[in-house]
């Protein structure tokens, strides 16, 4: 993988995660900085393992999710289990694979591809 392909994969992954943050109306400057940090970290990772470029969107989504949990709380919240009284975050599946999706860990329902979350108002 050349440098241009690496950058394209990273920018595409960044755009997907930002789209999900925007859909959930949580893309403020501090959170966008978390995305940038994840991209920097994964740039090194993909440079070491170029075959993993197709996995980088899911990994950046997980990195941002982990950073948000540490600083702000769970994200993205599961829209499937809204009446259970136990708000929980969606998981990225596969954890290391192409075509990552946001999936409810309790029901195994695939909610959306990474980059395709809809705003809560659109989910009704």
**Which DSSP string corresponds to the chain?**
--HHHHHHHHHHHHHHHHHHHHHTT---HHHHHHHHHHHHHHHHHHHH-GGGGGGHHHHHHHHHHHHHHHHT---SBPSS-TTSS---B-EEESTTSSS-EEE-TTT--EEEETT----GGGG-
CA 31 vs CA 25, 71, 86: distances in Å: 11, 10, 24
Residue 117 has pLDDT above 90, yes or no: yes
Q: Is the pLDDT of residue 119 over 80?
A: no
* pLDDT number for residue 120: 65
Please write the tens of the pLDDT for every residue from 14-47: 999 999 999 999 999 999 999 999 999 999 999 9
Model confidence band, residue 116 (pLDDT cutoffs 50, 70, 90):
very high
What distance in Å separates the CA atoms of residue 74 and residue 67, rounded to the nearest whole number?
10
Q: What is the band of 86 on the pLDDT scale with cuts at 50, 70, 90?
A: confident
Give 124's pLDDT tier (boundaries 50, 70, 90): very low
Rounded to 5 degrees, φ, ψ at 114 are -60, 130
Q: Which residues pair with 93 in a beta bridge?
A: 101
pLDDT, tens digit (0-9, with 9 covering 90-100), for 42-76: 999 999 999 999 999 999 999 999 999 999 999 99
């Amino acid at each position: 993988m050349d440098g241009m392909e690496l950058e394209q994969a990273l920018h595409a992954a960044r755009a997907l995660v930002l789209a999900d943050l925007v859909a959930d109306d949580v893309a403020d400057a501090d959170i966008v900085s978390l995305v940038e940090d994840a991209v920097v970290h994964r740039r090194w990772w993909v440079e070491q393992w170029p075959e993993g470029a197709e996995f980088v969107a899911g990994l950046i989504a997980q990195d941002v999710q982990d950073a948000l949990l540490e600083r702000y709380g769970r994200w993205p919240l599961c829209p499937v289990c809204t009446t259970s009284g136990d708000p929980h975050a969606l998981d990225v599946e596969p954890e290391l694979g192409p075509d990552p999706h946001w999936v409810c860990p309790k029901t195994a329902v695939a909610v959306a591809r990474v980059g395709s979350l809809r705003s809560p108002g659109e989910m009704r």
